[in-house]
Amino acid sequence: MKRLSRTLNLDVGSILLLKGRATARCKGRVTILGMDVDGREVRVKQGKVLPIEVHGSATISLCIEGDEGGYSVVDKDSSSRVGTAIWQNVIDVIRDSRPRRVMLVGATDTGKSTLATYISNIAVAEGLSVGIVDSDIGQGDIAPPACMGSCIVREQVLDLRDLDADMYYFIGRITPAGVEDHLIRGVMHLLNHLNADMVIVNTDGYVGDQGLRYKARMAEAINADLIVMLGDVEGSMDIPNTRIVRVETSSNIQKSRDERIARRIEQYKRFLAGGKQVRFRTKSKEFTMLCRRVTFMNYGVVVNDSMIIPNDMLTGMFVALAFMDDVMGFAILERVEGGIVTMVTNYEGEFNKVMLSNIKLSMDMSMEHRLNIII
């Protein structure tokens, strides 16, 4: 693998934009997303860009891995247009109004997850308890693809993917169009189980066509106190008793289609690593898809009394394992034959429900395919 090592001496006011995969050893008055990183080694994951902001003279030693990683330095004369300075108005509004529910809205690659991390770090530093609801089923951070998650943030972090969800809500799709009602119900379910001074609801990048209407419905359903709209979102969201703040989006954060797929693959591997074969009879468990009960027959799954998903289509399907309605773990279906399901999972506890999806993975989790299942 190609590696590039470099040591940079930076002046006060400079910002180093570091794209993963990469590591940085930081010495001096240096912060990332409101977190002091003096004396620390920071690792930036593939497809992620972090702003390393210099508040005094600093030395940063870099190691760039592969062709995807890279860096650029922005001097102090241009730093007001990158880094956390572009979001200072959001922090001022939050400090002034103390909203309990903050919702982030913006297209793909506008920095919603990065802003959520920054808001969380500032709030934690000021002694607030912070909850995160990650409703992005395609490029989420604290749950696998096709699933939403929530957690309480107990310390400052540099990447939401360093957090572990306390609760999940499985959708079974990686695109929101057509499952908006399920997503809104899921966000409300997760919110109702969070007890924090402030909850940040991070959303997907669906803002075109009906996307903004769906976001407005979600904001009303969860009683959002503040909506932060990132980038050039066309249209408006006029919601009673909800303040709306528009902010710029940072440059240099666009991810390619291949990078998005790679980030999803990383998430599948994160939640399925170390899996072992498990077998059970189909009649011993309940099976659902999009909250609807489905029936297993010898030849496959029957949905809505008509649509049939043949057994061979089930091979490689990514599923959630639940006890009652609480998602406990995840699995890949390996084989369905003779009324016996064989799957691979790292979950070792009890479950009585299997939630199906339209996601099919290769057994080595290197490839992802969407099944044409419409219910």
Counting the structural domains of the chain, the total is 3
What's the pLDDT at 301?
86
Same domain, 70 and 115: no
Same domain, 66 and 88: no
What's the token pair of residue 93? Answer: 């509004």
Asked, for residue 263, whether it belongs to a domain, the answer is no
Q: Considering 64, 81, 98, which residue would you say is the last residue of a domain? A: 81
What's the pLDDT at 333?
96
Distance CA 301, CA 367 (A): 24
What's the pLDDT at 297?
83
Same domain, 94 and 220: yes
Same domain, 89 and 72: no
Same domain, 206 and 89: yes
Same domain, 286 and 167: no
Asked, for residue 184, whether it belongs to a domain, the answer is yes
DSSP, residue by residue, 282-309: GGGSEEEETTEEEEEETTEEEETTTEEE
- CATH number of the domain that residue 174 is part of: 3.40.50.300
CB-CB neighbours of 369 under 10 Å: 10
Same domain, 211 and 110: yes
Distance CA 309, CA 269 (A): 25
The segments of the chain whose pLDDT lies below 50 read none
Distance CA 322, CA 319 (A): 10
Q: Considering 33, 55, 81, which residue would you say is the last residue of a domain? A: 81
**Whole-model pTM above 0.85?**
yes
- CATH number of the domain that residue 349 is part of: 2.40.30.330
- CATH number of the domain that residue 64 is part of: 2.60.120.1030
Same domain, 94 and 237: yes
Asked, for residue 268, whether it belongs to a domain, the answer is no
Same domain, 113 and 162: yes
Asked, for residue 211, whether it belongs to a domain, the answer is yes
Asked, for residue 254, whether it belongs to a domain, the answer is no
Buried b (16+ CB within 10 A) or exposed e, 43-68: bbbbbbbbbbbbeeebebebbbbeeb
Q: Considering 81, 105, 134, which residue would you say is the last residue of a domain? A: 81
Asked, for residue 296, whether it belongs to a domain, the answer is yes
Q: What is the pLDDT of residues 303-346, one digit of tens each?
A: 877 778 888 889 999 999 999 889 999 999 999 988 899 999 99
Eight-class DSSP state of 188:
H
Asked, for residue 267, whether it belongs to a domain, the answer is no
Q: What is the pLDDT of residues 213-251, one digit of tens each?
A: 999 999 999 999 999 999 887 777 888 889 999 998 865
Same domain, 38 and 122: no
Residue 48, domain extent? 3-81
Distance CA 160, CA 132 (A): 9
Q: Is the dihedral of CA 89, 92, 93, 99 positive or negative?
A: positive
Asked, for residue 11, whether it belongs to a domain, the answer is yes
Same domain, 88 and 227: yes
Same domain, 326 and 189: no
